[in-house]
Homo-oligomer: A and B are copies of this chain.
Amino acid sequence: MNKEMFKLGSQRSIIRELFELSKELKNKYGVDKVYDFSIGNPSVAPASDVDKTLVDIITNESSVYTHGYTSSQGDNEAREAIAKDLNKRYGTDYTLYNVYMTCGAASSLSIVFKALTESSEDEIFAIAPYFTEYRVFVNNSGAKFRIVPADTNTFSINFKELENMINPNTKAIIINSPNNPTGVIYKRNDLEKLVEFLLNKEKEYNHPIYIVADEPYREIAYDGIEVPHIPSIYHNTLICYSYSKSLSLPGDRIGYVLVPNNVDDSKNVFLACLGAGRSLGYICAPSLYQHMISRCASSLSNIKEYQDNRNIIYNELEKIGYECVHPDGAFYLFVKALEDDSYQFMKKALEYNLVLVPSDDFGIKGYVRIAYCVSKDTILNSLQAFKELYNYYSNK
């Protein structure tokens, strides 16, 4: 068998590993005794019209409509609903022809990386800290995965490092804002600075450099903070979107790739995405969920609950003495580990039934990620354990 695939299957992502471990711990100690902050499995229910719409489609539409194949690029009504929703929010003029329905963000990213990569010399950049699986999906495309080291002051774009690293093989830069694992939202002037830089480099190298905007957390932004629509400020932007978080449907696998008209050679890039999806075995996005999206594209889960969680966990951990990155969006809190080796810190936290994800696989050492998309009770009940963990290190 393929050794690399065996390795990927046997050494799973640390997030998935901890997700499985925490299931075991819950069986052993009881569900309410384990504080599982490992995975971004939304705790908030889907927007109220989502389940209703699913039932309505199953009950009242023909079975070939509900369960039949759609076109590979997706059902036209769903694509059009998405284009209209984006146009309303961003003043754009997308049509269904810009939208390719996919099985969530992971498939969107895999498809886009595969569609863009021409040679094994191509490089795709991620800015640390970054979502661990980018490395896996970029490797699958055949391109080189390169990490722009973190700017630990702002946790935004590290321009100095980016300027050092960029070269004629740079094919794309992944921008993930609101960010997983930090919850940081990249500010408009940072993005504008990036755009100016990339435009110059495109001219210098005489080929496109794409921004791949991974935006599953786009709608989860607090205190009215702006999440800029990147295609409106940079021409070569492809958006990878998922409804996993905004509609709380992570297991159902529904999302899209957006290829705006101002992407160079836009129509052909769209077709290359379609070809990449075909090549990876994606026949069509789940049809029932596509039809639901055609009616619920503008819906949103009650993200207010995440904001409440954010306020509690950020304030309380800071109060205890933890050093936290202030999150403006998503549902992650990035916290400085209390010893240099975040893997050892994760292990120590497990003794207090706290399931935290060490930061090494996010491309930076010495932090842990807390996914606070859990019930408020879990957070409140966990605070004592966080205190004890802190005291353990203080008294060491």
**B-contacting residues of A (Cβ < 8 Å)?**
1-10, 12-13, 16, 19-20, 39, 41-43, 45-46, 51, 54-55, 58-59, 63-64, 66-72, 103-104, 106-111, 114-118, 133, 136-137, 139-140, 248-253, 265, 268-290
Contact = CB atoms under 8 A, between A and B. Distances in A.
B1 A118 contact: yes
Given A251-B67, A252-B288, A271-B9, A140 B2 contact: no
Contacts of A252: 67, 286-288
Contact of A2 (B58, B70, B272, B288): B272
A275 B4 contact: yes
Of listed A5, A103, A111, A133, residue having the most chain B CB within 10 A: A5
Contacts of A270: 9
Contacts of A43: 64
17 contacts: A1-B115, A1-B265, A2-B272, A4-B279, A5-B276, A6-B272, A6-B275, A7-B275, A9-B278, A10-B274, A13-B278, A16-B71, A54-B54, A103-B253, A106-B281, A250-B283, A280-B281
Given A9-B278, A118-B2, A283 B104 contact: yes
A271 B107 CA distance: 20
A100 B276 CA distance: 23
A5 B69 contact: no
A109 B281 contact: yes
Nearest to A263: B1
B2 A268 contact: no
B55 A68 contact: no
A12 B277 CA distance: 12
Q: Which 6 residue pairs are nearest across A and B when measured between Cβ atoms?
A: A251-B287, A9-B275, A110-B281, A8-B275, A9-B274, A9-B271
A100 to B, nearest CB: 10
Contacts of A104: 283
Nearest to A141: B2
A139 B271 contact: no
Nearest to A287: B251
A281 to B, nearest CB: 3
Given A8-B275, A12-B274, A67-B250, 7 more contacts: A3-B118, A5-B273, A6-B272, A51-B63, A55-B59, A67-B251, A104-B283
A11 to B, nearest CB: 9
A55 B276 CA distance: 34
Contacts of A55: 55, 58-59
